Amino acid sequence: IARACYKRQKLLQYNTIDDAAKLLRERKNIMVITGAGISTSLGIPDFRSKDTGFYDKLLTIGYTDPEMVFDIHEFESNPGLFYSLAADILPGFKQYSPTHGFIRLLQDKGKLQTNYTQNIDNLEELAGVEKSRLIQCHGSFATATCRKCGHKVAGTEIFDDIRAKQISYCVRCKIEIANEQAAPKQNKRKPAARRYDSSDDDDDEDDDIPQPGVMKPDITFFGEQLPNHFFDTFTDRDAKNVDLVLVIGTSLKVSPVSEMPNFLPKEVPHIYISREPVTHVNFDIQLLGNCDDVVVELARRAGWELKHEMIPKDC
């Protein structure tokens, strides 16, 4: 894990970091919108970074359309694609990043309105962000659901299959099928319109055996609706009293999260923290660099102490 260490000279070029720190001190209802970039210092790949992103890795092994891995129609017809690749994005890290720690610090200061995360690694919870202040916009691996009967299980129940790169089938469906198979057979044979040929019968038998449903983790695939509480919380509650927006570690390429800044009052200051600038969304302040470095310096200039084992003592 790369040691995140603030490099003073790198950030001093942005005099706006002092303006950002001043806003942090003053504001009380801070909305934080996050993406995969806040977990990369832990070794978890993001999606679109050149060379290191999950999608770039798929391109190098021949997948010409990497986002298909998370396409719901592809999953319906070919769940094996997801199951052959999902092991790389399974949650399981026992450490969160300084940026997760910074979000927790905002909460401790009573300033965190809500963290809207696109991430499915559950590290916000590990950092101590309360469920009431966390919206997992793209769902999570916490649960998995059968595509056929709707049976819901703890997500961990399908992790072994994901690690083994094999499709996970619904246990409840399997039990029901086994019970049906064990039930006394009704005579399914068709009247012998011609000389009886037992091989036909086997074919009929095979066609009749129902298949168990495929389990899908409750992460939001392309083509699926985001969880309802995302829209309700954002529009009915947060958009009305937010007084500062921090967007950290996301390329803002996937709607509707990418549209959120445009649906917030213009007078609310928007701060963007990422390695690369964005031009398709208007930000009042863009702080470019490793987000762990930036949040450490932001906290320092706001007069706060951000403690984390990845932050060297002399920072």
Residues classed as catalytic: 138
Stretch that binds ligand APR, among 35-43, 74-82, 238-246, 301-309 (CB under 6 A): 35-43
Q: Which of 20, 33, 36, 298 touches ligand APR by CB under 6 A?
A: 36
Residue 304: Cβ-neighbour burial (10 angstroms; 0-12, 13-18, 19+): middle
Is 173 annotated among the ligand-binding residues? yes
Examine residue 276 and tell whether it contacts ligand APR (CB under 6 A). Answer: yes
Candidates 148, 275, 300, 301: give the one binding ligand APR (CB under 6 A): 275
CB of 87 to ligand APR, least distance (A): 16
Of the candidate spans 101-109, 182-190, 204-212, 244-252, the one that interacts with ligand APR by CB under 6 A turns out to be 244-252
Contacting range for ligand APR; rule: CB under 6 A; set: 57-65, 122-130, 142-150, 268-276: 268-276
Contact residue for ligand APR among 247, 291, 310, 311 (CB under 6 A): 291
Tell me, by CB under 6 A, how many residues bind ligand APR: 22
Give yes or no for residue 35 binding ligand APR (CB under 6 A).
Answer: yes
Using CB under 6 A, pick the residue from 23, 41, 246, 310 that binds ligand APR: 41
Q: Does 162 bind ligand APR (CB under 6 A)?
A: no
Sheet of 152-154: strand order equals: 152-154, 139-146, 215-219
Per CB under 6 A, contacts with ligand APR among 119-138 are: 138
**Binding-site sequence positions:** 146, 149, 170, 173
**Binding-site sequence positions for Zn(2+):** 146, 149, 170, 173
Q: Which residues bind ligand APR (CB under 6 A)?
A: 35-37, 40-41, 46-49, 53, 118, 138, 249-251, 253-254, 274-276, 290-291
